Amino acid sequence: DSGVTQTPKHLITATGQRVTLRCSPRSGDLSVYWYQQSLDQGLQFLIQYYNGEERAKGNILERFSAQQFPDLHSELNLSSLELGDSALYFCASSVGLAENTGELFFGEGSRLTVL
């Protein structure tokens, strides 16, 4: 158990809908990262937050948004869903910043299926 909690574990929805994925980082971790994993694209970095502030942005679509709340939990919002958004979405956390602290702790992921 990594200590990172993601909900929901599975989600099935229709095209055009909006969903929210939630992540609770390990106790004491200030950084939260979101990754998307699909069969054809591998593990893609989406966005990183550090202590409530957006820190780095990767291949995140404009239809997607995220935030980190004062209690350090984070939410990833996916809107106007398309079939291609079907993927595993991972949240990870670390004490500090990736370039300094290294190890990321991953949750078990939220599997999104868009029909």
Partner 1 sequence: SQQGEEDPQALSIQEGENATMNCSYKTSINNLQWYRQNSGRGLVHLILIRSNEREKHSGRLRVTLDTSKKSSSLLITASRAADTASYFCATVNYGGSQGNLIFGKGTKLSVKP
Smaller CB distance to partner 1: residue 17 or 101? 101
Please give the C-alpha separations between residue 31 and each of 5, 10, 16, in angstroms, as whole numbers: 14, 24, 30
Q: Does residue 77 sit in helix, strand or coil? A: strand
Smallest gap from Cβ 60 to partner 1, in A, equals 11
Smaller CB distance to partner 1: residue 6 or 81? 6
Angstrom distance (rounded) from CA 89 to CA 74 = 13
User: What one-letter code names the amino acid at 11?
Assistant: L
Smallest gap from Cβ 16 to partner 1, in A, equals 26
Assess contact for 30 and 85: CB atoms under 8 A: no
Smallest gap from Cβ 106 to partner 1, in A, equals 4
Angstrom distance (rounded) from CA 80 to CA 101 = 36
Angstrom distance (rounded) from CA 48 to CA 32 = 6
Interacting residue ranges for partner 1, rule: CB under 8 A? 2, 4, 33, 35, 42-43, 45, 48, 55-58, 88, 90, 92, 97-99, 102-109, 111
Smaller CB distance to partner 1: residue 58 or 84? 58
Smallest gap from Cβ 105 to partner 1, in A, equals 7
Smaller CB distance to partner 1: residue 79 or 98? 98
